[in-house]
Amino acid sequence: MKANRDIRKLSLDQIKDFIVSQNEKAFRAKQIYEWLWKKSARSFDEMSNLSLQTRELLKEHFDIKPISIHTKQVSSDDTIKSAFKLHDEHLIEGVLIPADDRMTACVSSQVGCSLTCKFCATGYMDRERNLDASEIYDQVVAIRNQAEEHYQTPLTNIVYMGMGEPLLNYANVIKSVEFISSPEGLGMSPKRITVSTAGIAKMITKLADDNVKFNLALSLHAADDQKRDQIMPINETNTLEALTESLQYFYKKTRNRITFEYILFYNFNDSIEDAKKLHELVKRVPSKVNIIEYNPISNAQYKNTDPETLDKFSKYLEDNGVSVTVRRSRGKDIDAACGQLANKSVES
């Protein structure tokens, strides 16, 4: 018995070709596509404006492979972390982060990660595979539903900051943004979507050439190559100079300001000298800086900096004209905070 094709890997034109080949009316293809991407149908049975005969035809030839919520944890600060099960039994994690002015979905782009960043729990996992665009889309839909069910508030923002390196799953990430932001899909503004990368210069250049509309964030965490090499091995082949040039090109093409993400590690990258180096780097690209609280993990010895050092560091940047936001961690008690995603909820 042959395996059915995943219908969500087909374009509208491909669905139309199939429908016409089966002597169905061509307009049915648009109805099916709308059920898949606008109404987020999880089965053909949900497609109520199609005849039973058409639905059975689709079942005969195709599958829909939705993700499902395997476990869910709610933090004391109202953050919700979900472990999602994929059709092949792999598990990934996504997070709903509620705040006064926004409701953010943090989604994964890979099962595991290949980049081995020393401070990140996901970096200690193997990369099993890339996620399909539909699996990224499904995370957004599930987290959007949680926002509405738990907090009666619509989802406002999406960040690709979960498990994996988005730019190493380039095609599926771009396709998922299209499904999330297009009028034929969920219709969210791409200005509300941020893709975060550890820094792959040639792929940042490709984003620029593809003229993407979403925001780009770079996980920087050190403003000199020697320190960044220690915590982020990707820097050895993507130096700060190469990254800066690609970010300048990205801004020139898209006019989208870059966000630099910078975790302050105690006694490693939190001195005023480090702040000076960061200032020198960020002034070369129209940008802002998010200073992020570190969330310790069992695999690494890094510690969060102290509040006084953080204040001095951010004040130095602000005094020198850098736009700075200090991001406080959310969901630490359920290992849902930045750098903590590693399917721990599944183990417990």
| Catalytic choice (93, 135, 165, 261) | 93
**What's the rounded Cα separation, in Å, for the pair 206 and 190?**
17
> Cβ–Cβ contacts within 10 Å for residue 61, how many?
12
**Exposure of 187 in the CB half-sphere (CA atoms within 13 A):** 7
Main-chain phi, psi angles of 82, to 5 degrees: -120, 135
**What's the rounded Cα separation, in Å, for the pair 194 and 158?**
6
Active site residue 106: no
SS3 assignment, position 254: helix
What's the residue count for the chain?
348
Active site residue 93: yes
**What's the rounded Cα separation, in Å, for the pair 4 and 7?**
9
Angle at 202 between CA 9 and CA 135, to 5 degrees: 25
**What's the rounded Cα separation, in Å, for the pair 192 and 142?**
17
First-to-last CA distance in the chain? 38
Residues 6+ apart with CB under 8 A from 260: 217, 218, 220, 278, 281, 282, 287, 288, 289, 290
Q: What is the largest CA-CA distance in the chain?
A: 71
240-267 burial, b for 16+ CB within 10 Å, e for fewer? bebbbbbbbbbbeebebebbbbbbbbee
Residues with a catalytic annotation lie at: 93, 338
